[in-house]
Amino acid sequence: MHTTRMITAVEAHAEGEGGRVITGGMPLLRGASVFEKMQDMQMRHDDIRTLMLREPRGNPALCCNVLVPPSDPLADAGFIIMEQTEYPPMSGSNLICVTTVLLETGILPMTEPETTLTLEAPAGLVTVKATCENGKVTRVAFRNVPAFALHIGVPLEVPGYGRITVDIAWGGMFFVTAEAAAFGIDPVARNGNDIVRASEAMRAAAAAQYPVSHPENPAITGPTIAQLTAPPTDPETHGRGAITVSSGTYDPARPHALTGALDRSPCGTATCAKMAVLHARGLLDIGADYVNAGPLGTTFTGRIESTTKVGPYDAIIPSLTGRGWITGISQHMLDATDPFPAGFTVGDIWG
């Protein structure tokens, strides 16, 4: 065997959503910030993202992260998030996986009963409080980047579904959000196919009809991800959400193709975007918990810590709490004769 890459990863999930964390074997990335290192990765090493996320080493529902040295002197570590079609500037489930891996493998020291960290995501600094017991991270709480709504209750023409009322908001990624009932869908795991098709159509329509960019970093554009929400079924929760992460290219001529996969968790950035919309509508106060259930019934607990401004937008500073688990350690190799040095996709599960 002639190995051209040897990548070590710790496998983890946060409330069900897979977040592989690469701890070794990466090329050195250039850049004066984690955002610039992410851009360098995208420009020069995108084949590693697809190698690790696509077949035969990945699957459509997997996310991946790369640990990088932080650039900000306040940060303890940096991380780049890689998903199937983009490099998200922030991600709740991935931050929880990264924190769990950093502390449970000893890359950063763990202090019981609580470890405080600052992580540099491409979107900026995120402060983290990890509850730790007997060497295990039992809970990860973080103060996210500010979240804000850009469009509230606007009409969107979704091919094949008609006119739907949506919100467009930032929670670390740009989301288009609609009530699942508008599509006649109950957002639970067994309805994953219907959720993905409707969400991908909605996401593509929103990107065309309501393009947005971040006022503090115009290189961040969207919406890139879609959320369907519903009232709670469990009295301990405040809402439900099913988020579709794109894994292919949506084509209205092939509306039955599955070009995304459900976030198995309630999605941290979606929860923060949803809280920004609820706050803007006067439906969620500072300090009140918002427990959001995902398609598997697992929850993230969000809270509005305070308010601020981002460019012209009224914004909230959200916190989010969830749990992560390590599931294994893997060593991935690429042989020089492997015909798929960047992985591959097949239309049966990749649209």
Ligand X SMILES: O=C(O)[C@H]1NCC[C@@H]1O
**Which of 52, 63, 149, 176 touches ligand X (CB under 6 A)?**
63
Interface size with ligand X, residues (CB under 6 A): 14
State which residue, 262 or 334, has the beta carbon closest to ligand X: 262
**Residues 6 or more apart whose Cβ sits within 8 Å of residue 338:** none
Give phi and psi for 344, each to the nearest 5: -155, 165
Sign of the alpha-carbon dihedral angle for 225, 194, 302, 306? positive
- Give the Cα separation of 316 and 49 in Å (integer): 32
Minimum distance from residue 283 beta carbon to ligand X (Å): 21
Minimum distance from residue 345 beta carbon to ligand X (Å): 18
Closest of 174, 124, 178 to residue 149, by C-alpha: 174
Question: Looking at 119-127, 194-202, 266-274, 278-286, which segment touches ligand X (CB under 6 A)?
Answer: 266-274
Helices then strands, counting H and E runs in the chain, come out as 6, 19
- Give the Cα separation of 175 and 227 in Å (integer): 7
Q: Which two tokens stand for residue 273?
A: 């975007």
| 162 Ramachandran zone, left/alpha/beta (phi>0; psi -120 to 50) | left
Taking residues 163 to 182 in sequence order and writing x for each that binds ligand X by CB under 6 A, - otherwise, the string is ----------x---------
State which residue, 5 or 295, has the beta carbon closest to ligand X: 295
Q: Tell me: does residue 104 bind ligand X (CB under 6 A).
A: no
Question: Looking at 147-155, 211-219, 260-268, 326-334, which segment touches ligand X (CB under 6 A)?
Answer: 260-268
Closest of 83, 112, 111 to residue 97, by C-alpha: 83
Question: Looking at 92-100, 103-111, 152-160, 308-316, which segment touches ligand X (CB under 6 A)?
Answer: 92-100
**Which of 39, 91, 229, 246 touches ligand X (CB under 6 A)?**
91
Question: One of 63, 64, 267, 272 is an active-site residue; which one?
Answer: 267
Q: Tell me: does residue 245 bind ligand X (CB under 6 A).
A: yes
Catalytic, 63? Answer: no
Half-sphere exposure of 45 (CA within 13 A, CB side): 18
Q: Tell me: does residue 88 bind ligand X (CB under 6 A).
A: yes
Q: How far apart are the first and last CA of the chain?
A: 33
Minimum distance from residue 166 beta carbon to ligand X (Å): 18
Q: Tell me: does residue 62 bind ligand X (CB under 6 A).
A: no
Minimum distance from residue 253 beta carbon to ligand X (Å): 27
Between vectors from CA 108 to CA 104 and to CA 113, what angle results, nearest 5°?
65
Taking residues 17 to 56 in sequence order and writing x for each that binds ligand X by CB under 6 A, - otherwise, the string is x---------------------------------------
- Give the Cα separation of 290 and 124 in Å (integer): 23
- Give the Cα separation of 28 and 335 in Å (integer): 21
- Give the Cα separation of 71 and 35 in Å (integer): 10
**Which of 70, 89, 92, 343 touches ligand X (CB under 6 A)?**
92
Minimum distance from residue 17 beta carbon to ligand X (Å): 5
Question: One of 91, 246, 247, 265 is an active-site residue; which one?
Answer: 91
State which residue, 137 or 173, has the beta carbon closest to ligand X: 173
**Residues 6 or more apart whose Cβ sits within 8 Å of residue 208:** none
Q: Tell me: does residue 265 bind ligand X (CB under 6 A).
A: yes
Catalytic, 132? Answer: no
Binding footprint of ligand X on the chain (CB under 6 A) = 17, 63, 88, 91-94, 173, 245, 263, 265, 267-269
Task: Enumerate the active-site residues.
Answer: 91, 267
